[in-house]
């Protein structure tokens, strides 16, 4: 059998402690083994709750955020 993953990307503006940051939000199941080699988790943990996200290092730096911050 075959499996597939859905992926959606949309433009977004998020509020950070430094103001508003324009970005893209991609929704996909990053912990799924099908994505092994495509997504590398470098710090923190995979999101487990509905109010948790994973973010790229580039976005975290440009938005003035740190692991564990609220957006």
Domain ranges of the chain: 8-62
Report how far residue 21's alpha carbon sits from residue 5's, in angstroms, rounded to the nearest whole number: 28
Q: 58-61 contacts: CB < 8 A, separation 24 or more?
A: 59/21, 59/23
Answer yes or no: pTM beyond 0.75: no
Residue matched to tokens 């509020």: 15
The string of pLDDT tens digits covering residues 15-64 is 887 788 888 999 988 888 888 888 888 888 888 888 888 888 888 888 88
Residue matched to tokens 């988790």: 41
């Amino acid at each position: 059998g075959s499996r597939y993953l859905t992926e959606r990307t949309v433009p977004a503006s998020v509020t950070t402690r430094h103001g508003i940051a324009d970005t893209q939000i991609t929704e996909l199941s990053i912990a799924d083994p099908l994505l092994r080699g495509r997504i590398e988790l470098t710090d923190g943990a995979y999101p487990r709750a509905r109010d948790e996200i994973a973010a790229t290092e580039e976005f975290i730096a440009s938005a003035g955020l740190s692991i564990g911050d609220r957006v």
